[in-house]
Structure 1
């Protein structure tokens, strides 16, 4: 009886070991397959989001500059570091005062190059703002209190030390290619920041990314944005009227900042544009 029990025990152990081996052989490939599928979904999702963002940015360029080729170049620049994503079709046209854009990209299947790539198509459109620029440009038609002998907008700081221009760049904190929607003007903490033009303060306080943000509405669809100040260095409040040259804040390094500076933006019709096109340069002592 004892010998029979020992034999049965040994048989059970061998059977369980065989079952475990079978489970391992079946589950391991399924695990790898599932990992590849998840990886593919992540890659495809990132490509889709980047396509949408790149197309929106290209439409902004076309909308504010009226330059179709520049907008197309901007879209392609967004994919300069993504060799696996192929731009199959790109159309950016300006018709009847409206920008219409279409982009189609191919996303390869990671685990099998013989399979047909995933195709994604995105569309976007926006009104053309170029026709409204005359009232804001230096040689344009005078409109409102903004245009003075000094230019459309005054300098937001007294000493001009620009460390980052408007346009696409490799973000120093997020480490991705991203549109830098303004210019960075470096200076010691507390350096006075001035209102670039007459207007009404519509925001003065906390803001994600900027740490703290001041927005001044100048009318005619123009706003100026001032970012990264510390909260105790904001000297205006929402609803307050300011004049060009008023001391509104001090330079800080709040939010997503690598050092004390003013992040300065100019918005026309809700779209960020290159501030250097509107700031009076003859009043700025450049370093």
Structure 2
């Protein structure tokens, strides 16, 4: 028997392969979407940090820096800025932010923490 006739005799194998591959592709798509959301959260956090440390180093006003950070970060639904600490002392402005990223298919979160600092301009 040739390989072609053996292949023709295996009826239903395409359906079984299809049934196994569809969930695999769905999980791959969810994983890729989770990576995209995490990347957006990291970029948003870093941008908010840069803006906050810039305002803090120029004005030495922690409230204005906090307001600028929240304004820059926005209000996305998949991740949130859970903690923001701003410290302006002597000649340094230090801003630390913690972002909680929701996991799509679980009830847990991923935390991302970043610190930025700049010299105070007088």
- What TM-score comes out, normalization by structure 1 length? 0.39
**In structure 1, the residue corresponding to 2:28 is in which secondary structure?**
helix
| Distance in 1 (alpha carbons) for counterparts of 2:44 and 2:7 | 56
Give the match for residue 79 of structure 1: 73
Measure how far apart 1:14 and its partner are. Answer: 5.1
Residue 119 (structure 1) aligned with residue 111 (structure 2):
yes
Instruction: Check if 1:52 corresponds to 2:35.
Output: no
Q: Equivalences for 1:194-273 in 2 at 5 Å?
A: none
Number of the residue aligned with 1:88? 82
Find the partner of 1:33 among 27, 30, 39.
27
Which structure's residues are more often helix, by fraction? Answer: 2
Q: Match of 1:110, SS?
A: coil
Please tell me whether residue 128 in structure 1 is matched to residue 120 in structure 2.
yes
1:63 — aligned with what?
A: 57
Asked which structure has the greater CA Rg, the reply is 1
**Which of 8, 12, 25 is matched with 1:13 structurally?**
8
Give the secondary structure class of the aligned counterpart of 1:56: helix
* C-alpha displacement of 1:53: 1.2
Structure 2-normalised TM-score?
A: 0.89
Query: How many residue pairs align between the two structures?
Result: 119
Q: CA deviation at 1:19?
A: 1.1
Confirm or deny: 8 A CA contact 1:79 1:85 kept in the other structure: no
Give, in angstroms, the shift of residue 12 of structure 1. 5.7
1:42 to partner: Cα distance: 0.8
- TM-align CA RMSD: 1.8
Q: Report the secondary structure of 1:83's partner residue.
A: coil
Report the Cα offset of residue 59 of structure 1. 0.3
Gaps of 5+ in 2: none
* Residue 81 (structure 1) shift: 3.4
Distance 1:104 1:30 in 2: 33
Structure 1 residues 24, 73: closer, same or farther in 2, change over 3 A?
A: same
How far is 1:96 from its partner?
A: 1.7
Q: Which has the higher strand share?
A: 1
Which of 87, 91, 95 is the equivalent residue of 1:97? 91
What is the CA–CA distance in structure 1 between the aligned matches of 2:27 and 2:33, rounded to whole Å? 10
Unaligned runs of at least 5 residues, structure 1: 132-287
